[in-house]
Amino acid sequence: MEQVLEEVPLEVLRQRESKWLDMLNNWDKWMAKKHKKIRLRCQKGIPPSLRGRAWQYLSGGKVKLEQNAGRFDELDLSPGDPKWLDVIERDLHRQFPFHEMFVSRGGHGQQDLLRVLKAYTLHRPEEGYCQAQAPVAAVLLMHMPAEQAFWCLVQICEKYLPGYYSEKLEAIQLDGEILFSLLHRFAPLAYKHLSKQKIDPILYMTEWFMCAFSRTLPWSSVLRVWDMFFCEGVKILFRVGLVLLKHTLGSSEKLKSCQGQYETMERLRALNPKIMQEAFLVGQLAGPRLRIDSLLQPKWGEGLSLLLL
């Protein structure tokens, strides 16, 4: 049976909104003195009405926009490289095709998605476009206008996941190795099984991390993971990955149906819905810190990916 979070009472939601409004209106003060409190409130979930604004503040996208006034309009009016435009346009209809924003070809959602992704290729011509950026940008556009979404995307690509979307994918490969090392401590049976089957982390964690789980988890879980991700950074993605691997391959019972490489990969492609449900997943993430924080370089925004073993 699926585990479902009890709906937050309206009065509690209103109280949370009031607290978040106070934080957002006095953001610098809160960031300077009460960062732990912000983290705890992100773990509880950002009120839906303020999520877009909060993500802009947490990511630093708001500051970037203010520092670069008019830059997005300039990029938006530029023609863009036909090579990238062609690839982006082919990807537009694949992003959340059942969401009202993106359901119609050439609709406002797809147009804004094209604008944001094109602007990024002009902002970082040496990187261009990576397909995994499209679902990330789409999630942002569901919560904020195109200009704000663009600067949040810039922050994700440059601060949160630096190097993830470059052509050689070196950063994601390195973080795959780190995830695997952490798995050795967190879920030894899963680690042993994946080692025995010679399944490289890049085969199962690339889409997880590059799309920040937006193409993997149920929508309510995606939002809660992103709330924490914007506050705490890439280590949230590591924690989610570890929880999914442990509860998929972390016991002898679970491994009975994963005898070979093919069966194991199929299981990782079709994860048990129960472990992805908001109540279960957030409970795991907000509980004991999975004992990984001390293993990850604190300056995750400056080339995280160093494991202090």
Q: CA 175 to CA 39: how far, in whole Å?
A: 23
Closest CA to 214 of 298, 110, 88, 94: 94
Q: CA 150 to CA 292: how far, in whole Å?
A: 31
Q: What's the CATH code, domain 170-295?
A: 1.10.472.80
Q: CA 220 to CA 225: how far, in whole Å?
A: 9
Strand partners, 307: 296
CA angle 129, 57, 26 (to 5 degrees): 170
- Indicate whether 301 pLDDT > 70: no
pTM for the full predicted model:
0.90
**Average pLDDT over all residues of the chain:** 89
Q: CA 173 to CA 253: how far, in whole Å?
A: 30
Rounded percentage of the chain residues whose pLDDT exceeds 90: 75
Average pLDDT over residues 172-184: 94
Site of tokens 């999914």: 244
CA 168 to chain centre: 20
pLDDT classification of 12: cutoffs 50, 70, 90: confident
CA 69 to chain centre: 26
Instruction: Tell me the one-letter amino acid at 234.
Output: V
Tell me how long the chain is: 309
What integer pLDDT is reported at residue 256 of this predicted model? 87
88-142 pLDDT per residue, tens? 999 999 899 888 888 888 788 999 999 999 999 999 999 999 999 999 999 999 9
Across 57-88, b (16+ Cβ under 10 Å) vs e yields bbbbbbebbeebeebbeebbeeebeeebbebb
Instruction: Tell me the one-letter amino acid at 52.
Output: G
What integer pLDDT is reported at residue 98 of this predicted model? 85
Domain boundaries along the sequence of the chain: 10-65, 68-160, 170-295
* Domain topology for 68-160: Helicase, Ruva Protein; domain 3 (1.10.8)
228-283 pLDDT per residue, tens? 999 999 999 999 999 999 999 988 888 888 888 999 999 999 999 999 999 999 99
CA 156 to chain centre: 9
Rounded percentage of the chain residues whose pLDDT exceeds 70: 90
Average pLDDT over residues 188-204: 94
What integer pLDDT is reported at residue 300 of this predicted model? 40
Q: CA 21 to CA 240: how far, in whole Å?
A: 28
